[in-house]
Amino acid sequence: MSEFDLPVDNGGDPACWLQRVCRNCGALAEDEEQPTVCSRCGSTEFGD
Ligand SMILES: [Zn+2]
């Protein structure tokens, strides 16, 4: 058994994608799990 096997949809947990949302422009980086630079505005600050 694993706690990672919980039957939830991708994106079901806001904490999963909040850290991928640019704090400057609000863009969601879908390509990377943990983006370092926003592809839209170049900000390096992401939600937490
Ligand atoms: Zn941005």
Whether 34 maps to a domain, the answer reads yes
Is residue 1 situated within a structural domain? no
List the domain range (segments joined by +) for residue 16: 10-48
Question: Does residue 4 lie within any of the structural domains?
Answer: no
Q: DSSP code of 42?
A: -
> How many angstroms separate the alpha carbon of residue 1 from the centre of ligand 1?
38
Report CA(15)–ligand 1 centroid distance (Å). Answer: 18
What pLDDT does residue 2 have? 60
pLDDT value of residue 32: 61
Q: 12 CA to middle of ligand 1, Å?
A: 23
pLDDT in tens, 3-46: 666 565 555 566 677 888 999 999 998 776 777 899 899 999 99
- 33 lies in some domain: yes
For the chain, the domain total comes to 1
Residue 34 CA to ligand 1 center (angstroms) comes to 14
- HSE-CB for 44 with a 13 A CA cutoff: 1
How many A from CA of 35 to the centre of ligand 1?
Answer: 11
Q: What's residue 6's pLDDT?
A: 56
The more confidently predicted of residues 2 and 5 is: 5
pLDDT at 45 (0 to 100) = 93
